[in-house]
Amino acid sequence: MKTEISWNDFEKIDIRVGTIVDAQPFEKAKNPAYKLWIDFGSEIGTRKTSAQITVLYGTDDLIGKQIVAVVNFPPKQIADFMSECLVLGAVGSDKEVTLLTPGKAVENGLAIG
């Protein structure tokens, strides 16, 4: 288990639901990954990210999938691509990632809290 955080620390994290609108192989990444474009609704818009989720997902599986992501990290350069959010997933023992998704379809941009 990681270090305990305060409720105030948790409240600083902006976690939202978004829909993947495009997914492409990320050839220049060090580890196998995809480039994702995610629609977080009118308030936030579309953000892009790199995700190491190639073990369990193909690009065709991802288009239209709702996911959960942190949207208030600063942008991070990954090879020639600027990542603007962090997709959340459960990481298995072999480092395979299962994406976190809402149980039912919801409006893009809804906050997790």
What token pair was written down for 26? 């990320």
Q: Which of 65, 59, 55, 66 is nearest to 97 (CA)?
A: 55
pLDDT at 95: 87
At the fourth CATH level, the homologous superfamily of domain 13-103 is: Nucleic acid-binding proteins (2.40.50.140)
97, 54 contact by CB (below 8 A): no
Sites in the chain below the pLDDT cut of 50:
none
Q: Determine the number of helices (DSSP H) and then strands (DSSP E) in the chain.
A: 3, 10
**For position 113, what pLDDT does the model report?**
85
The pLDDT value recorded for residue 36 is 98
Q: Where are the domains of the chain?
A: 13-103
